[in-house]
Chain A
Amino acid sequence: MISVKNLTKVYGKKDSQFTALDSVSFTIPDGATVAIVGKSGSGKSTLMHIMSGLDRATRGTVEIDEKILTELSAKDMDRFRATKMSFIFQSFFVEPNQTAFQNVMLPLEIARLTRSNRRGRVLTALKAVELEDKADTKAANLSGGQKQRLAIARAIVNKPRLIFADEPTGNLDSTTGDKIIQLLFGINKTIGSTLIIVTHDDELAARCQYRIKLKDGKIESMATPKQMAKKQTQDKLPVKPNLKPRPATTAVRKVM
């Protein structure tokens, strides 16, 4: 269970204070799929950073698996991240000069897994994203979709309790994006990891069991499975049409 209580993050000093998160509280059961939505600057990235221990909260607590992350030492936090969490990013962040195999191996090395245990796990993870035949291909030679699948393999190789996905489809065309989403939800079912997706994409958000909408650092609305089921019976159509691919996104892809 993930329990966030009164989470507040304030940036800057007295005169130029900016409250990125303002008393955010919610609870999510294990194995759930969660979407954190909101506009730019709504605080969703800050929330993800604090929940994953990359950033420190000004006030409040995050409790995962009966551990209060906000109170862990840096060392224990690293250990927790290495064994219990993983990340999927919009820009994939796979190492282009390394092979797919080496990319997926990284979390296992960080978690100090013995060498004999690594190979099987890496291959299983690559198989799960259908990249087993690309194990020795350099990541630079993979397509965008393949790179994101590689990033997913890297995220699941450690069998984490919690996967954070930050705009996982943001750099992909809609067809590829759909595949990635299906893959993510499939993994959520098969290995039971809690999946937390930070996204602008309402369609993607709509497919999650929980939806936390942030505005100006506060929870504007939170939808639980019950409420959503009710809502879906009320209006069966998706809220907004799919706008992808976005022009800004294509620009980023060219740079990559």
Chain B
Amino acid sequence: MHITDIIRRSSRSLKSAKARTLLTALAIAVGTFALSLTLAASNGAQSFVDTIISENFDPAELIVAADESIASNASPSEPQEYDPSFGTSTSNAGATIQVKRITDDDIAKISALESVESVREGIQLNVQYITREGQKRYVGTVAGFSPAQNPETLAGELVKPPKNQTVLLPEAYLGPLGFESAEAAIGQKITIAVRKPFNVAALSPEVIAQLQTDPDAAAALAETNSITEEFTIAAVLKKPTTAQPGTELYLFVNNNDARRLYDFSTEGTPDFGKFLTVFVKIKNGNDSTVLIASQDELKTLGFYSVSVEETQAFLNQAIGILQAVVATFGAIAVVASIFGIINTMYISVLQRTREIGLMKALGMRKRDIGRLFRIEAAWIGLLGGIIGTGLSLLVGLFANPFISKSIDFDGDLLIFEPLQVGGLIVLLILVSILAGWLPSRKAARLDPIEALRTE
């Protein structure tokens, strides 16, 4: 029998048992649905990570620290000896980690390297408050603008790097600071206040005496012990959809301004001129071999560095592990449905014992009879695959706008690759054929005389 005839006959026999076929296919569809969605979510998560990283980080930049322990954020396993030149960080569990920091001397050392183009501190400073004349005060974070960032603006022009004493204001601050619109804010001034640390030596003896007798006076002094600077709003940033999570309310200024404010807030403290990490831009750093070479160079100087690519790979690996777990459940569902196919095919063989006997009597080859049933199983696999992936596509269609909205992401988080979907269906067909193997063998080996016995 020609293969086309076999395919037609097997599909016809499925049509005559619609409910059974559909139910078996649905069992496969469940696993397919899970696998298809897992693949789509994996694609989406990877694209999400990639977008965020490419929108916020320069691949030619290395994140450099003086201490490797900053990367792991793990609690120390044994007591660390106190060193005043070190800073402290907090582990994921909340424990104090003593971390060696990068100093201005280190920055000078790194900048002196042949391969280094520039170094920036990447400052994020929690300021005392942000305000505008006649408005309330708000807490906020001021950060140095990275040239790799590409935020969308609602109004104003984004100059890289921002000019001195200008600020990029997040959209969310417009209302609180009393602006009618984004356009109205451009060119207006806001005040940023930065708390200064106490310098006891600089205080007059009268003030010291007052502080000793009146505890409230200390609080009042601390409140007024700050500097304020005026910044002109250069641009209003649209609520970011691809920002590094948690940076949505950052006010960006240029690095010099950020550094100056940071120095104000740390002057006279052990934190002055010390940084947990700095961003080092490598000449021709887009070339990964150059980048790796300079990472080795930094290592010999005693610095620990992470490239954007490494960070990305680490994140993707984490996503991959999650996906693997979900995919395993999907695969288990598919494996379970194999038994459904085997069962269905056995029933089909039993129901069609006479037909098989007749076909054999009429000279149909064993091989062709086997094929007839394997193709019937393949049809079920195809149907289940189409139903499963179809449902997952449908879910993607409805869930994508919803998910994107809830996480403020400008893209889809469920991305279906035609090649993957097709591959999945082909895989299911193969699995089904495999499941149909035993029943089809039973059919092929059927004795026509027994099959055609009338009793």
Contacts and interface: CB of A to CB of B under 8 A. Distances in A.
Nearest to A97: B16
Contacts of A107: 362-363
Contacts of B354: 93
Interface in A47-99: 49, 52, 54-55, 74-75, 77-83, 85-87, 89-91, 93, 95, 97-98
Given A49-B449, A110-B1, A91 B359 contact: no
B2 to A, nearest CB: 6
B361 A81 contact: yes
A13 B359 CA distance: 30
Given A54-B449, A95-B355, A97-B16, A110 B454 contact: no
A81 B368 CA distance: 15
Interface in B351-377: 354-355, 357-366, 368
A110 B452 contact: no
Contacts of A49: 449
A191 interface: no
A54 B361 contact: yes
Contacts of B360: 54
Nearest to B366: A74
A178 interface: no
Given A54-B448, A91-B454, A98-B12, A109 B2 contact: yes
B364 to A, nearest CB: 5
B5 interface: yes
Interface in B7-30: 9, 12-13, 16
B363 A85 contact: yes
Contacts of A55: 449
B351 to A, nearest CB: 11
B225 to A, nearest CB: 92
A111 B363 contact: yes
Contacts of A98: 12
A28 B5 CA distance: 36
Contacts of A112: 1-2
Contacts of A110: 1, 359, 362-364, 368
Interface residues of B, number: 24
Interface string B377-410: 0000000000000000000000000000000000
Contacts of A93: 354-355, 357-358, 452
Among A54, A74, A75, A112, residue most surrounded by chain B Cβ atoms (within 10 Å): A54
Nearest to B368: A110
B1 A109 contact: yes
Contacts of A77: 363
A106 interface: yes
Interface in A97-125: 97-98, 102, 106-107, 109-112
Interface in A178-221: none
A252 interface: yes
Nearest to B364: A110
B363 A80 contact: yes
A107 B12 CA distance: 17
B11 to A, nearest CB: 12
Among A93, A98, A102, A112, residue most surrounded by chain B Cβ atoms (within 10 Å): A93
7 tightest A-B contacts by CB?
A: A82-B363, A81-B363, A97-B16, A109-B5, A78-B363, A110-B364, A93-B358
21 contacts: A52-B361, A54-B360, A55-B449, A75-B365, A77-B363, A78-B363, A78-B366, A81-B361, A81-B363, A82-B362, A83-B363, A85-B363, A87-B361, A93-B355, A106-B359, A107-B362, A109-B5, A110-B1, A110-B359, A110-B363, A252-B454
Interface of A: 49, 52, 54-55, 74-75, 77-83, 85-87, 89-91, 93, 95, 97-98, 102, 106-107, 109-112, 252
